[in-house]
Amino acid sequence: MKRSVALIALVLAIIVSAPANAAVVALHDDGITNFTGQRLEQRLDLLAGTNTKVTRVDVLWRRIAPTRPSNPRDPSDPAYDWEQLDDIVRGLSSRGITAMFTFYRTPAWASPSGRENAAPRLADSGRFTRALATRYSGTYAPVGEQPLPEVRRIEVWNEPNLPFFYAPQCRRSGRKIVRTAPRRYSALLRVAYREIHRANADAIVIGGVTGPASSSSSTCSADASTSALDFIAGMAKERPPLDAYAQHIYPIGSPARASFFPSWRTIGRLERALDRLKRGAPIYVTETGYHTSYNRFHRYFVSESQQAAWLDQTYRIAARRPRVEVVVWFNLQDNPFWTGGLLRRDSTRKPSFDRFARLATLNPPPESWTR
Amino acid sequence: MKLPTFTYYRARISTVRLSRNRLGFAGRPERKIIIRTSIGPVATAKLAINDEGAILAAANGRGFAGPVVWCCTPEGEERVVYSDGRTGAGRPISLAFQGSTARALVGGGANLSILERDPQGTVHREDFRAAAAPPYVIGRTRMASIISPGSATVPTDTISARNSPVLLPARLFPGPGPSGRITNLWMDGDTVIAQVRRAARWEIYRYTAPKSRRLLLRASQRPRAVAVGGGAVAVAVGRTIWSARGGKRLKKGPRATSVVAALAVDGTRMAWFERRGRGADAALRLRMGRVR
């Protein structure tokens, strides 16, 4: 009897334990930047309640630098408002959660069009990334305070292949459409890479961060987007330096069956395309998820039970791809524009909450992520 | 390796211009709303339009509540009136416009909500418990906003949309009697069409304000589709389409070549979809005709 119990326990242990190359289980909370003070602490507790040990944090450049700093490389320049981001990073660190940054949203003073989705002037973005990486290098202490925790992983921009985040995407040359975004973004990444590594030699600079566009627009209108594959191909011509590539995957259908690009079934195509940019580059899936009700930005939805089941399936499939280092579930909580949360808008838990918490407990990130 | 091609279900709502004689189409369909899900087949789509060309659409499926979507702003943006992903969420039952205000009746069992959305405003929701069993319909004119057919009452709704229709004074219509049961309702202008199950037969009645009721059709099988619009009524029984204008008894009209999937009527014109094939491979053929 004892032996059979031990055998069952062993089998269970094998079933529930993570594969050796399981991707890091991470969670994004896009609402966290809406809170300060005590409400921020409560929000951080809510995030910690999911058992996640890694989270992706939005660094909204436009909010941190509403006016042009006189010395933009210096993180202590008075034009910068780091207070909320400092609180977030310290709060995460005290809860044992590793942060990774994604910075975007161009301030008006760095934007050729004044809009926040405009491709920023390279010198301005380079100087800001330097200030950001310096401040969170692990050695920087604001006046009269303890050193800030290190944030080693920095994504350069968010979904630069979509005009909502990065514009323009293209220009017309006679009858031809020239996709300018990959080249312009490559230059941005090159500058950011140099500045971040100068501030923190251990930093990991994540490029691409491409959104889930499967095909490039056939016209060059203001809402034209560039497919992830076209974007990577465009970057490959420029060969910008990067330490990892990030891709966002929102499958239409189950993770095992959805066959559109980008999806888990087609990740091999992503790997092959990436090899032309940087052979063997690790893949960070920094956004994935399923919406559980319809919203005008995401017209595809699944049931809450499907979301839970497919969350499990997502991490199982990711574990079979050794190059996929992290999978960030997007999002912690529903909002009017995003209904893919683990929590509903009224803060009640969806079935996916417990699944995520269980996975996060069973798959602690490797030491390289928590150092 | 052959990739699976079917990973989700969808409902597409498109508009297309009518030809000059208004019995055909001019131009290509323009897609307005698309609703996609993996939960299950999208079984029923409901639509309402107003004189300004705004569209209100809902698409339920077996075992899940579909969203209610309003379309569109001048920039082509849609607005979500209702979407609830929780298990057991109330389903959209009926849609209507009251002027430019979109209204949706949502719920299940006795728990119902009327949702209202002004094109530029936020969603207003009013929950209530219905006194009678379904079906319910939400009106698109000032005549009525909701019908509770168990007692065949039509509460009038001539005042602000913010008032609860169920609390307004009721206008009583003669019901189908103890041997009849209203199973479905449609509204247009001051007309209410009721489908009644009586013993082994199905009957279609026309109610008009204030107190008249008239039998339009008696059939031995359940009508596949019923439409009311522009003072006309059309009913598909089997493959035969019956129609009439002005409250007259329905006359036999054109015969569909396959199953009638949907039917619409507007004054002298009617249109219907015929379904070819089954399941995911089903295709629709649109036919148009005149009301007799």
Predicted confidence (pLDDT) at residue B5 exceeds the cutoff of 60 = no
Question: What confidence category does residue B159 fall into, taking pLDDT thresholds of 50, 70 and 90?
Answer: very low
Convert the pLDDT of each residue in B79-96 to its tens digit: 899 998 888 889 998 888
Predicted confidence (pLDDT) at residue B158 exceeds the cutoff of 50 = no
A16 domain-assigned: no
Q: Which residues does A292 contact at the CB level (< 8 Å), separation at least 6?
A: A301, A302, A303, A304, A307, A334, A339, A340, A350, B85
Over A318-339, what HEC string results? Answer: HHCCCCEEEEEEECCECECCEC
A98-104 and A54-60 beta bridge pairing: parallel
Domain membership of residue A88 as a residue range = 22-370
With tokens 């569909």, the residue in question is B256
SS3 A188: helix
Question: What confidence category does residue A283 fall into, taking pLDDT thresholds of 50, 70 and 90?
Answer: very high
Convert the pLDDT of each residue in A142-164 to its tens digit: 999 999 999 999 999 999 999 99
Cβ–Cβ pairs < 8 A, chains A and B: 66
Predicted confidence (pLDDT) at residue B157 exceeds the cutoff of 60 = no
Q: Do B7 and A259 touch (CB under 8 A)?
A: yes
Question: What confidence category does residue A31 fall into, taking pLDDT thresholds of 50, 70 and 90?
Answer: very high
Domain tally for chain A? Answer: 1
Q: How close is the nearest chain A Cα to the Cα of B196, in Å?
A: 35
With tokens 């994540």, the residue in question is A206
Over B205-261, what HEC string results? Answer: EEEECCCEEEEEEEECCCCCEEEEECCEEEEEECCEEEEEECCCCCEEEEECCCEEE
* Strands across the sheet containing A300-301: A300-301, B25-37, B9-18
CA dist B50 and B32 (Å) reads 15
Q: Of A66-75, A136-145, B205-214, which range is least confident?
A: B205-214
For A301, the closest of B5, B77, B85 (CB atoms) is B85
* Arithmetic mean of pLDDT over chain A: 93
Q: Do B38 and A292 touch (CB under 8 A)?
A: no
Q: Which residues does A8 contact at the CB level (< 8 Å), separation at least 6?
A: none
Q: Do A296 and B3 touch (CB under 8 A)?
A: no
A-interface mutation test, from B2, B34, B37, B42, most A Cβ less than 10 A away: B37
For B78, the closest of A296, A301, A302 (CB atoms) is A296
CATH code at position A353: 3.20.20.80
Q: Do A301 and B34 touch (CB under 8 A)?
A: no
A39 domain-assigned: yes
Beta-bridge mates of residue A24: A326
Q: In this structure, are residues B196 and B176 in contact, taking their beta carbons and an 8 Å threshold?
A: yes
A104 domain-assigned: yes
Q: If you average pLDDT over residues A291-299, what whole number do you get?
A: 89
Q: In this structure, are residues A107 and A60 in contact, taking their beta carbons and an 8 Å threshold?
A: no
A230 domain-assigned: yes
Q: Among residues of chain B, what percentage have pLDDT more than 70?
A: 78
Convert the pLDDT of each residue in A181-192 to its tens digit: 999 999 999 999
A1 domain-assigned: no
CA dist A346 and B107 (Å) reads 19
For B77, the closest of A257, A296, A302 (CB atoms) is A296
With tokens 């942060």, the residue in question is A99
Give the pair of three-digit tokens for residue A366: 């490797």
ipTM for the assembly: 0.82
Phi/psi at A116 (5° precision): -75, -15
Chain A contact set for B7 (CB, 8 A): 251-254, 257-259
* Arithmetic mean of pLDDT over chain B: 79
The confidence score (pLDDT) of residue B176 equals: 67
A-interface mutation test, from B83, B122, B123, most A Cβ less than 10 A away: B83
CA dist B292 and B232 (Å) reads 10
CA dist B144 and A309 (Å) reads 44
Q: Does B90 touch chain A (CB under 8 A)?
A: no
Q: Of A38-52, A69-83, B118-132, which range is least confident?
A: B118-132
For the whole model, what pTM was predicted?
Answer: 0.86
Handedness of CA A20, A23, A25, A26 (dihedral sign): positive
B184: left (phi over 0), alpha (psi -120 to 50) or beta: beta
A194 domain-assigned: yes
A11 domain-assigned: no
Phi/psi at B269 (5° precision): -110, 145
SS3 A301: strand
Q: If you average pLDDT over residues A335-359, what whole number do you get?
A: 95
Question: What confidence category does residue A298 fall into, taking pLDDT thresholds of 50, 70 and 90?
Answer: confident
A-interface mutation test, from B7, B33, B87, most A Cβ less than 10 A away: B7
A6 domain-assigned: no
Chain B contact set for A304 (CB, 8 A): 85-87
Candidates A156, A62, A74, A71; CA nearest to A111 is A62
Predicted confidence (pLDDT) at residue B11 exceeds the cutoff of 70 = yes
Candidates A313, A304, A321, A217; CA nearest to A269 is A321
SS3 A80: coil
Q: Of A131-145, A270-284, B105-119, B262-276, which range is least confident?
A: B105-119
Q: Do B39 and A295 touch (CB under 8 A)?
A: no
The confidence score (pLDDT) of residue A80 equals: 98
Question: What confidence category does residue B141 fall into, taking pLDDT thresholds of 50, 70 and 90?
Answer: very low
